[in-house]
Structure 1
Amino acid sequence: MDILAPVGSMESLKAAILGGADAVYLGGKEFGARRLASNFTDPQLRGAVLYAHDRGVKVHVTANILIKEDELGRALSFIEFLDSIEVEAAIIQDRGLLNLIRDRCSLPLHASTQMGIHSPEGARWAADNGISRVILARELGLEEISAIKRAVDIEIEVFIHGALCYSVSGQCLFSSMVGGRSGNRGLCAQPCRMHYTLGGEEGYLLSTADLFGVESIPKLMEMGINCVKIEGRMRSPVYTYLASLVYKNAVKRAAEGDSDIITQREKELLEVAFNRGFTRGYLECDEVMQKRYPNSRGRPLGNAIMAFGRLKIADQGLEVGDGITLYRANQKVGGFDIDEFKSEGQVTSLTPPFTLDDGNYLAFKTKDRDFDSIFQIISSIQVPEIDGKREEVDIELEEKERHSKTPMISCYISSTRTLESVLPFADRVYFDLNPRMDEARIMCIDQGIEFVPLLPRISTQIPRIDADEVMVCTLGQLQEYHDRELFGHYSLNFFNSMTIPDLHQYTLSVELSRDEMRDVLQHYSGRLEAMAFGRVELMVTRDPSIREGVLVDDAGRKFPVYRDRWGYAHIMNCADLLLLDYMDELQAMGLDSIGLDLRRRDPGLCENVARAFKENDLKRKGRIKRKCGKVTAGHFLRGVT
């Protein structure tokens, strides 16, 4: 089983290889999901691949963001460049890019965790579509991983250490919708690490602890998992070195049958290098949340007492060269490297280099005496840069003839009461799976309205229903119902016209601007829908601790939270998407339909919204805004970078 280490810079590349990683993953200056890391120019990539290969280390390169229409040529050029320098794999998310490159390159393709594969059916879809390895969603347990491995003949990669996303993989729009920085485009602003209130609870309510999955190594090896992945391309070279070393040692010890696969010293070093508190994660059904603080604090040392000019800490084996940081009332007070200390029985006595008020503090070890020497060794290693010109690729996208037309009105509905209020105006209904579905179907058929069951946003076990038409939200659902007439939810992240036309109709990503939507429509021959009303789902999470209610951030924005019947929680945007002002423009684009998400809303509001869009009645906008409280055009006017 390979150890795959994160590399965000040339220093981290050297650190990973020095630590014993079997493979590394890194990104170029474009198209990677960590665009804020240092990343690699083309000459640096050539040199990095040569350096790694000379040492028997494989290189995987990320191209795992969603690709815009005008980026397809550059993205293809980048993939062909990677093929030419003989990297071992490209990691991708965008299915349009997959369609574009799978017959042009011999390069193995790995499905990014952002593809949201968390079922055997999803892995089977990947295998059937030219993917050689699936990087599974991070919110899966060991039994679920084992079921996928047993069911599908495809390589499996599993996250084993590092940050956990609060949202299920590939389904977070929080940063995008609230802050304008898209996680799907590699620019996540981490709103999950911010302070919130929900009911009577307050704190960093969406902040997860760091995954520390070393205890799962033997079980993953028994399953035949091909690779375990360490997260952390934005972290330090010392972290990369230590994580690579510790997990490589753990795999070796597990293979030799040792019961103790990690030493106490190794765990302490990982704690110091970076941790927000450790969890065994969803792998072992452990508590994943750490709501007290959102950032790394290092290894906890316990209480420290300042009195008479000396800081006293219970003996934790501190040495000269170690670094500590002090907190009081959850606020950082300061930190320093130890240059002298006295042992007083079971207490270490220090003199801080700055003034501290007398009293109690919480102390954390944030640097180990060995870190400086590790970094010096890493820095002394030279990696070449190899110049060369990359071949640019032009893609001729065939223009499709689209005419202005009145789009169908598609209503997302979750109750028969709401359905009754929109029946005079709906052309199609997407109805949530629930006990009233058969009744809703009859109501629609009686009125000549198209009825489409809507599958759950996430399902590790896909529900089976008897229907000719189905709306799917995941690749696993797409695979399971491939022989039906399928409609694609916006969670499938349709971003460009190269997306495989394997559905009756797709819904455009809610992250596309009006100009980007128009570009896609000019080149795509299939049926397309655009969302025009409703609260966009910002996150879908497996966190069992979050309750239904209203999540409030420090700016006073209110995000409704509800739980579905499948056990997932959904965090909705603080404002309703409302594109009523742009109906003429949407019609001129040649869209086949527009989507109105009316689930869990007052029937009076639903009737007003459906009537307004059906009749293109701008006079109803004021009434709708008053009922909604807050509305937005979303990314229709601005898009994402």
Structure 2
Amino acid sequence: MNDIELLAPAGSIESLYAAVLNGADAVYLGGSKFSARAYASNFDDENMEKAVDYAHSYGVKIYVTINTLMKENEIDEAVSYARFLYKIGVDAILVQDTGLFKMLKDSIEGVELHASTQLTVHNGEGAKFFKDAGFHRIVLSRELSLKEIEYISKELDIETEIFVHGALCVSYSGQCLMSSMIGGRSGNRGRCAQSCRLPYTLEAQKSKQIHKGYLLSPKDISGYNILKDLLKTGTSSLKIEGRMKRPEYVAGVVSEYRNAIDSLKKNKSIDYIRGDKTLLKLFNREGFSSAFFYKNTGRDMMAYNMPKNSGIKIGTVAKNEVKLTENLSKGDGIRYSNEKGFTVSKILINNNEVIHAQAGDTVKIFPKQYKNGDVLYKTSDNELNSSLKETFSDKYKRKIFLNAKVIFKVGSPLTISTEYNGKEYKAEGKIVENAINKPLSMEKVNDNLLKSVDNPYKFSKINYDFFEDGFLPISAINEVRREILEEINSYEIKKHKRIIKKPAIRQLEPKVKTEEEIYYIAYSKDQLNALLDNNANNVVVDIWSHDLDSITVEDFKIINNINIYIKVPNIIKQEFNSICKIIDNVLPFIKGIYTANVGIVNKYKGKTQLIGDYKLNIMNSKALEFYSDYYNIPVLSEELTRKEIKDICKKVNCDIGYTIYGRTELMINEYCVIGSIAGGKSTNVPCNRACERDKFILIDRMNEKFPVKTDKFCRARIYNSVPLNLIREKEELESFGINKFFIEFTNENYSECENIINWVCSGVEVDDEYTKGHYRRGVE
């Protein structure tokens, strides 16, 4: 069985100690800026270097996340920060922004860059695209199955990393704009407000059936019970999510996975029941799921009733007492009536106060805030947390044991030699004297040489090349022991430090800016007819919709005299080859492809025109330059302000696209809320295809209504409650340098489409509800 990296999170220095001391092979953490967990404690520059040095002294790698999208005025600072990280010895930098990636590749020779899961790599061609671009490792989307992971890792020979435990985003990472558009906190910039953890109502617009709950809140992933299958995929790294979690959580999860992985390597049995219960005690949302590893996309992976830590059930209150199904201790945290809770201050058994109670005991628990019939859950285990805290209370608690060779000879210096990581070390102390009274015994010398110092290394066995009766002050023995162990520690830290070599500057191919054009995107035949009847010149058709009125290939094959583009899904998994067959068949009839799926770009670059939609997340001029090498028309992110758009356009001379009308796609989900809730989609119950008979909306706490559409591959897309409308700003955008404008129709009917076309072409405005998005307000 191949070695596999266990990668742990650290949002604080204590979590770093917890990860390293409990067996992590590598730790990922964030600095004070540019981290996708902006609300974690994170590390300032001083503590960052201490963290790197500490981890390296244990032989543990450090990966630092600079995995947010960069604004134009931030990217130079991010590059400077990356240079600092490279110098202090960080093993790899995790990147989402392709502009930053481009600058780091061009300015730091030898830097190891990992593609963040925010880059939404979910098929083999996409993985090849980013590997060929220069990424060393690809962090795959959480939605992949074991077979898909194995194909990319083994058959394509690409170094991959997958999430094995922790929180699961309901949307494909990097494709979620819900937090951004609703509250101005961008998940792409590490400030997700977790809109998915809020309650929603799913309403069928024809039948008026409704379903309420935390409909977008998934359970956490746990790959603990399927580790044997995960290890067979050939992935290089198993990643634990949790930079916002307490150090005790990190310690517990790392320890359980470390022990299980090591046991599997040695063909030893694993107590999965005990380990799983420990993981549940640390944090769970109505249990765990295996996420998408076995292609599951149903309701059994969701936590519809409880979006926070649900804990483990300890019993039901009857006659003001509880017969425990789990152990209970004073100081434990208890939840009841969903989100109500308290900390146990007293436990009575037969009116006698105890500190601990066992499963099977009937107890009274105080403070008595619950009532008869309430089900109690333990959300915090005081004993478990105390034992886990003990594992990292001393940052050098875990020792790396070494063998020493010693010469203790009168008239010669005390000499200690050892070997570590293939390097020989030798230290000489003071000269051993004749013993005037009582000579030092070998046992006494041993006792002092076997003492610990304040670093990870410790002698566990002493072999004497020569020993004779003599004398040295104990302090002299301690001094030479400390010297050699500190020399080892110093070397292990310093060997990772670097100087920066600047690579040769890559010459950019000159771009030619073409004339201004307007592109219309249609999902339905009704919308397509409105465009044809109103003389649209550039039409992008989506043929993958599940709607009854969806466009087919036959509908556009017969269209002449206008440019037809095909909108290819941004997410394509096992259906990749079948979609390519369709594209191949329609290539003679189309002008190009509209998609943010880089796997499709990897396959069709040079064969047809390529337009990349706003889900490419282009937020700076360097990212625009990066994608302009692959796309004829890259479209800028909808998270930009007018000033940010203007600043980007000043620096790049190429065709630049921007969406000026359309409902923003807030999420794209492998899990279908319609099929799983209204359609009965679960492990055992097939979906009844409700999406083909009705239209659905999600309603939030503010009564905002978000349309939900599905595609032929049973993925759900959630759209903003109102369309983006920057038609009035079109002239201003032209002055900035935007020359390709996109109008996207989603659920508009014929007359609504016609009204928008007239507004764009003739200036006839429509009095309706719209949003300007981030054009004025921007995002955090």
Give TM-score scaled by structure 1 length: 0.91
Report what 1:43 is aligned to.
Answer: 46
| Partner of residue 613 from structure 2, selected from 464, 489, 505 | 489
Q: 1:476 to 1:405 in 2, by over 3 A?
A: closer
Report what 2:440 is aligned to.
Answer: none
**Superposition pairs of residues 2-401 of structure 1, within 5 angstroms:** 2-105=5-108, 106-199=110-203, 200-258=210-268, 260-276=269-285, 277-286=287-296, 287-307=300-320, 311-318=321-328, 320-321=329-330, 323-328=332-337, 330-336=338-344, 341=349, 347-356=360-369, 358-368=371-381, 369-381=383-395
Report what 1:554 is aligned to.
Answer: 701
CA deviation after TM superposition for structure 1 residue 34, in Å: 0.3
Q: 1:70 to 1:567 in 2, by over 3 A?
A: same
Give unmatched runs, 5+ long, in structure 1. Answer: none
Contact 1:7 1:24 in 2 (8 A): yes
CA deviation after TM superposition for structure 1 residue 291, in Å: 0.4
CA deviation after TM superposition for structure 1 residue 483, in Å: 2.3
Give unmatched runs, 5+ long, in structure 2. Answer: 204-209, 351-355, 397-453, 456-492, 545-550, 676-690
Give yes or no for the alignment of 1:570 onto 2:717.
Answer: yes
Instruction: Give SS of 2:232's match.
Output: helix
CA deviation after TM superposition for structure 1 residue 379, in Å: 4.0
Q: 1:367 to 1:436 in 2, by over 3 A?
A: closer
Query: Which AA in structure 1 matches 2:104?
Result: I
Alpha-carbon separation, structure 2, partners of 1:151 and 1:129: 19
CA deviation after TM superposition for structure 1 residue 42, in Å: 0.7
CA shift digits 1:516-548 (9 cap, x unpaired): 111111111221111111110000001134345
Alpha-carbon separation, structure 2, partners of 1:139 and 1:541: 9
Give yes or no for the alignment of 1:621 onto 2:766.
Answer: yes
Give yes or no for the alignment of 1:635 onto 2:774.
Answer: yes
| Partner of residue 555 from structure 2, selected from 416, 430, 439 | 439
Query: Which AA in structure 2 matches 1:348?
Result: D
CA shift digits 1:295-322 (9 cap, x unpaired): 0022222423352xxx31334233x346
Q: 1:60 to 1:338 in 2, by over 3 A?
A: farther
Contact 1:29 1:40 in 2 (8 A): yes
Contact 1:415 1:436 in 2 (8 A): no
Contact 1:407 1:592 in 2 (8 A): yes
Alpha-carbon separation, structure 2, partners of 1:143 and 1:337: 50
Contact 1:405 1:590 in 2 (8 A): no
* Superposition CA RMSD, Å: 2.9
Instruction: Give SS of 1:561's match.
Output: strand
CA deviation after TM superposition for structure 1 residue 3, in Å: 0.5
Q: 1:358 to 1:138 in 2, by over 3 A?
A: closer
CA shift digits 1:153-202 (9 cap, x unpaired): 22111100000000012100000000110000000000000011112210
Contact 1:431 1:437 in 2 (8 A): no
Alpha-carbon separation, structure 2, partners of 1:353 and 1:134: 50
Contact 1:324 1:363 in 2 (8 A): no
Alpha-carbon separation, structure 1, partners of 2:70 and 2:325: 53
Deviates more, 1:114-123 or 1:335-344: 335-344
Report what 2:433 is aligned to.
Answer: none
Query: Which AA in structure 2 matches 1:583?
Result: K
Instruction: Give SS of 1:192's match.
Output: helix
CA shift digits 1:220-255 (9 cap, x unpaired): 222221110000000010000011111111111111
CA shift digits 1:465-523 (9 cap, x unpaired): 13252112222122121223211011111111112122101111011111111111111
Contact 1:63 1:90 in 2 (8 A): yes
CA deviation after TM superposition for structure 1 residue 373, in Å: 4.0
Greater gyration radius: 2
Instruction: Give SS of 1:47's match.
Output: helix
Instruction: Give SS of 1:284's match.
Output: coil
CA deviation after TM superposition for structure 1 residue 455, in Å: 0.3
Q: 1:324 to 1:360 in 2, by over 3 A?
A: farther
Give yes or no for the alignment of 1:519 onto 2:663.
Answer: no
Report what 1:415 is aligned to.
Answer: 524
Alpha-carbon separation, structure 2, partners of 1:425 and 1:612: 14
CA shift digits 1:132-173 (9 cap, x unpaired): 111110011111111222332221111000000000121000
CA shift digits 1:428-481 (9 cap, x unpaired): 1111135623432432x33xx221111012101321113252112222122121
Alpha-carbon separation, structure 2, partners of 1:161 and 1:37: 18
Query: Which AA in structure 2 matches 1:478?
Result: V
Contact 1:140 1:283 in 2 (8 A): yes
Contact 2:162 2:237 in 1 (8 A): yes
CA shift digits 1:362-410 (9 cap, x unpaired): 11122331312432553443899x9x9x99x9xx9x9x99999984211
Contact 1:161 1:230 in 2 (8 A): yes
Instruction: Give SS of 1:219's match.
Output: helix
Alpha-carbon separation, structure 1, partners of 2:17 and 2:192: 26
Query: Which AA in structure 2 matches 1:332?
Result: K
Contact 1:172 1:540 in 2 (8 A): yes
Q: 1:372 to 1:601 in 2, by over 3 A?
A: same
Query: Which AA in structure 2 matches 1:5?
Result: A
Contact 1:324 1:337 in 2 (8 A): no
Report what 1:479 is aligned to.
Answer: 602
Q: 1:346 to 1:229 in 2, by over 3 A?
A: closer
Report what 1:459 is aligned to.
Answer: 572
Give TM-score scaled by structure 2 length: 0.75
Deviates more, 1:601-610 or 1:434-443: 434-443
Contact 1:425 1:610 in 2 (8 A): no
Give yes or no for the alignment of 1:506 onto 2:506.
Answer: no
Q: Report the identity percentage.
A: 35
Q: 1:358 to 1:583 in 2, by over 3 A?
A: closer
